[in-house]
Amino acid sequence: GENVEQHPSTLSVQEGDSAVIKCTYSDSASNYFPWYKQELGKGPQLIIDIRSNVGEKKDQRIAVTLNKTAKHFSLHITETQPEDSAVYFCAARGLGSTLGRLYFGRGTQLTVWP
Amino acid sequence: GAVVSQHPSRVICKSGTSVKIECRSLDFQATTMFWYRQFPKKSLMLMATSNEGSKATYEQGVEKDKFLINHASLTLSTLTVTSAHPEDSSFYICSARDRGQGWVSTDTQYFGPGTRLTVL
């Protein structure tokens, strides 16, 4: 099955700085890569996703890039705010996953200091 | 985005009792729902995949007789923890697959808010 690695496991930034979280995947057939934000005691919330037919996608302060050749994708958060503090999970889904199963990274605890 | 609800949000029960958790997709039909378990400061561990009208598919190491899953309709899946024990205490989260409509494939997975189970 797919193997997703996520780095770093913890990330601390000052308010206003940028944050970057990186993930790699093993299955070259994977074609869908979502990012989820999970606040303490809550379920994960989809914040952005990208499909394999595009290399970059942006939504206000959040952007995701995909490098299919290198099999890695990254989440970029600009102008970070304290409310961005949460655990972020990347995931990948392959063409062979007919039921839509996602494979998750281990998560990154982002802390934004005011 | 689409909304998935879970009920109850918290449950405390005595050892040996059974607990049912409901997962509903509120504004879309979900032929596939997923059940996860999450330990503190850990990633999401897939327990089983639930398909409407058919038996659930369990991940290796997950006891199907202990964690009963029923996906009775396109908007509802239930997880029943039977004869719960303290080691079953955890955060259980469901997700629902929204395959979208028309020729544009959105095929996105949305999560519920989770259920905190505490077994005394």
Tell me whether residues B44 and A44 touch, CB distance under 8 A: yes
pLDDT in tens, B16-49: 999 999 999 998 888 899 999 999 989 999 999 9
Question: Please, how many CA atoms are within 13 Å of residue A6, restricted to the half-sphere of its CB?
Answer: 27
Structure tokens at B38: 């999450």
- Residues 6 or more apart whose Cβ sits within 8 Å of residue B37: B44, B45, B47, B90, B91, B92, B93
- Residues 6 or more apart whose Cβ sits within 8 Å of residue B26: B2, B3, B4, B5, B75
Q: In the prediction, which pLDDT does A95 show?
A: 65
Apex A44 CA angle, A43 and A47, nearest 5: 145
What is the rounded distance in angstroms from the CA atom of residue B118 to the CA atom of residue B120? 6
Tell me whether residues B114 and A41 touch, CB distance under 8 A: yes
Q: In the prediction, which pLDDT does B4 show?
A: 96
pLDDT at A66 > cutoff 90: yes
Q: In the prediction, which pLDDT does A1 show?
A: 77
Q: Which contacts of B99-102 are long-range, i.e. CB under 8 A and separated by 24 or more positions?
A: B99/A100, B99/B31
**pLDDT confidence tier of residue A29, bands split at 50, 70 and 90:** confident
Which residues in chain B have their CB less than 8 angstroms from residue A106's CB?
Answer: 42-43
Query: Which residue, among A97, A98, A101, would best test binding to B if mutated, counting the most B CBs under 10 Å from its CB?
Result: A101
Residue of A nearest to B51 (CA): A99
Which residues in chain B have their CB less than 8 angstroms from residue A7's CB?
Answer: none
